[in-house]
A and B are shown apart, each in its own frame.
Chain A
Amino acid sequence: MIRKTVLIAFVLLAALSAVVLFAQDITGWIKGGGGKPALAVPDFRGSGAAQPLMASFNSTLFTDLDKSGCFDMRAKSLYPLNNPQSPQDLRPEDNNQGYALQDWAGSPVTASHLVFGYAAAVNGALAIYGNVYDARVQSIPSAQLMAQHYAGGLDEAGAVRTAHEFSADIIQKFCGGTGSLLGSRIYFVSNRSGSDEIWAMDWDGNNQKPLTNLHSLSIMPAVSPDGTRVAFTSYGKSTPHIVMIDSQTGRNLPFYNQEASLNANVTFTPDGKQIYYASSAAGLEQIFAAGLNGQGFRRISHRSDIEAEPKIDPKNPNILLLVSSASGQEQIYSMNAEGGDFQRVTNGEGEASNPSWNPDGQHIAFSWTRGYAKGDWNVFVMDIASRQYIQLTHSEGRNENPTWAPDGRHISFASTRGGRSQIYTMLADGTQVTQLTRQGANRMPVWGTK
């Protein structure tokens, strides 16, 4: 009897510690487990005509690296008096004056890595020479991680662009993904012109412009993996149907809608060659697949539940997530690309929707009312293998339609926290929340590579 009790206690303890372990896993992933690289980034200086551009360059570089959420940025006020500008400046020993790597690794800077370089005006262009060294390594040659050269226009724009390029390479080197958000765009729905149209903007909220002008109801955009196509749901011909456009020009691309009261919720496959969508062509709304032009469509699922929002695993095109009413209220499910192996992913609490895959294929962001009243959506992130999750927003308005940035570290979402729905970005740990839109009501963001 005692042995049995001990055994049960042991099993319970093991189960509990497994849960704790998983919880640490997802939190560790979110926080950048094992500690983030600590970067020291002393200001670059420029020779001649390059010098006036350096303020823009330095602030852009520092901000990009900071915003990536990938690094622990060491404060510039802690830096030594001098800093190297080229690898030739490095010395084995400098008595904390700044030309030795250990001056940066030691107190008070305690950086793990040193980012340094300089700029010059070469034949009317801006040339950037950037370096990254591991400050903790004794041997100067083996401490070198990156030695990069960038060229841009000899103006503010050139300085900002080269800073973006350098930061992107550093982020990619340390954190993987696409490295930076540079060039990525967010597609969304805005009613600021009087009707719900598809709009696009840069990842930081700049250059907001409409892609459609249909004066109808244009909603639920999706963007192809290469960023060239946007598909959305339109009411232009009375019943909701799919429209495919060029993501840069807004020009219509050929698309065949099968006969149905509803063709909606498009998503692209990771190879960009097919789409999945929800259609009522068979009577009840179910998941279908088709070519990019809508031809060759085939029914995937054969159930009687309401099914919406198919989302293909970026690392495994045979797995897709979807939202289904199979267990009552809407929940996130997974199934294979032929409609089989149908399993619930969320635990049945509340209502769950809007799954978005992280580019790593291991994590999803989604909307959930768990712990709140119906309609009080919050953004969560889940490790798809362990089903462990963390909550990123905490009921400041309704928080819906999370979408991962190509860098796998940022999330854009729509929130009514300020009244009307607006589009925000944040890091995957819920920090650095930034509002991108302010005119009209803006919702349903989807983040494209360009």
Chain B
Amino acid sequence: MKINSPFRASLLLALFAVLFVAGCGKKPPIPPPPPPPTSNGGTTNNAPSGKPVVAEFTAEPSSIEAGQSAILRWSVSGASDISIDHGIGTVQGSGTSRVSPSITTTYTLTANGAAGSTTATATVRIVAPPPPPPPAPRNSGATAIGTVESRVSSLQDALFDYDSNNIRDDARAALTADADAIKRILIDFPSASVNVEGHCDERGSAEYNLGLGDRRASSARDFLVQLGVPGDRLKTISYGKERPVCTESTEGCWQRNRRAHFSAGQ
């Protein structure tokens, strides 16, 4: 339930009023004590008076990959001797120790005092390394593979509303992705150019659509140039409604045809 804030404010006010009236004639209750401090990443036994107090026992970082190391850090008071298992042995009241476990390991610190002993644990978790990055594309640099045509054919169309050359949000996303791809194509193929084709659905007149397609191609070209694609290597060409990608008289097909499409230039 959503409550608007004036209503919520008056509700709170009413609640306070009730509490105030209810509290009249009684002593306010004593607030409970705060909880004991805890150490980050470790567990600490509550130390009754007389027992040693482990103020801190942590592993930093608490997760490592196998072969890496973590730092154990501890701070203990009121203990006559302090030891940590897994081969670390007796240590001072506060200190650090670098550990490199090969599997997830929970370290236990034991502090003995006159009135008893206190233990605390800290765990170093071993995580799997992330997968390696994909191999670098072999065509980066001068040894380009593929053809301009195949690279250009994977660019996304930018779609338009009926009788409009405005770049919609979805076209903005498509063209933003296309801009990076086109820049790489133009670097890999220094003599290549890319045609920006403007297309329309079947409904407007063929003659008018030639002009509309020209606007769509120009809008897409201008958008790409804003993103740093060199304009002198983009060539606009309007096909109006002469080269539809599909021919059904449905909105789905009409939308596919209202597009800026890319082809390899000469």
Asked if B189 is an interface residue, CB under 8 A from chain A, the answer is no
| Tally of chain B residues near chain A (CB < 8 A) | 27
B253 to chain A, nearest CB (A): 12
Q: Could you say which residues of chain A place their CB within 8 Å of the CB of B205?
A: 308-309, 323, 330, 351, 353-354, 367, 377, 400
Does A219 have its Cβ within 8 Å of any Cβ on chain B?
yes
Contact A261:B236 (CB < 8 A) given known A280-B214, A284-B215: yes
A214-232 with Cβ < 8 A to chain B = 217, 219-220
Q: State which residues 125-169 of B face A: CB under 8 Å.
A: 162-163
Q: Report Cα–Cα, A353/B195, bound state, in Å.
A: 29
Cβ of B231 within 8 Å of any chain A Cβ, yes or no, is no
Residues B68-103 near A (CB distance < 8 A): none
Complex Cα distance A367/B204, Å? 11
Asked whether A325 and B208 contact (CB < 8 A) given A261-B217, A375-B202, the answer is yes
Q: Are A353 and B214 in contact (CB under 8 A)?
A: no
Which one of B163, B211, B238 has the greatest number of beta carbons of chain A within 10 Å?
Answer: B211
Whether the Cβ atoms of A306 and B212 lie closer than 8 Å is yes
- Cβ of B206 under 8 Å from chain A: yes
Does A353 lie within 8 Å of B242, measured CB to CB?
no
| Contact with B208, one of A233, A323, A375 (Cβ below 8 angstroms) | A323
Interface residues of A, count at CB 8 A: 35
B4 at the interface (CB under 8 A from A): no
Is A264 engaged at the interface, CB distance under 8 Å to the other chain? yes
Closest B residue to A264 by beta carbon equals: B210
B196-233 contacts to A (CB < 8 Å):
201-208, 210-212, 214-215, 217-218
Given A219-B242, A238-B266, check contact A309 B212 (CB 8 Å): no
> Is B206's CB under 8 angstroms from A220's CB?
yes
Which among B162, B203, B207, B217 has the greatest number of chain A C-beta atoms within 10 A? B207
Q: Please report the C-alpha to C-alpha distance between residue A287 and residue B238 in the assembled complex, in whole angstroms.
A: 17
**B11 vs chain A, min Cβ distance (A):** 52
Among A261, A354, A375, the residue within 8 A (CB) of B214 is A261
B237 adjacent to chain A (CB < 8 Å): yes
B235 within 8 Å of A by Cβ? Answer: yes
Task: Return the CB mask of A371-384 against B: 1 if under 8 Å, else 0.
Answer: 00011010000000
B211 and A262 form a contact (CB under 8 A):
yes
Report if A265-B210 is in contact (Cβ < 8 Å); known contacts: A375-B202, A375-B203: yes
Known: A220-B206, A233-B210. A239 touches B215 (CB 8 A): no
Question: In the bound complex, how far is the Cα of B237 from the Cα of A240, in angstroms?
Answer: 7
In the complex, the answer to whether B208 meets A309 with C-beta atoms within 8 Å is yes
Give residues in A with beta carbon < 8 Å to B.
Answer: 196, 217, 219-220, 233, 238-240, 261-262, 264-265, 278, 280, 283-285, 306-309, 323, 325, 328-330, 351, 353-354, 367, 374-375, 377, 400, 444
Which residues of B pack against A, CB within 8 Å?
A: 162-163, 195, 201-208, 210-212, 214-215, 217-218, 235-239, 242-243, 249, 266
5 A-B pairs whose Cβ atoms sit less than 8 Å apart in the complex: A240-B237, A261-B236, A264-B210, A285-B210, A351-B204
A264-B210, A353-B207 given; name 20 further pairs at CB < 8 Å: A217-B239, A238-B195, A239-B237, A239-B238, A261-B217, A261-B236, A262-B210, A262-B211, A262-B214, A284-B215, A285-B214, A306-B212, A307-B211, A308-B205, A308-B208, A309-B208, A323-B205, A330-B205, A374-B204, A375-B204
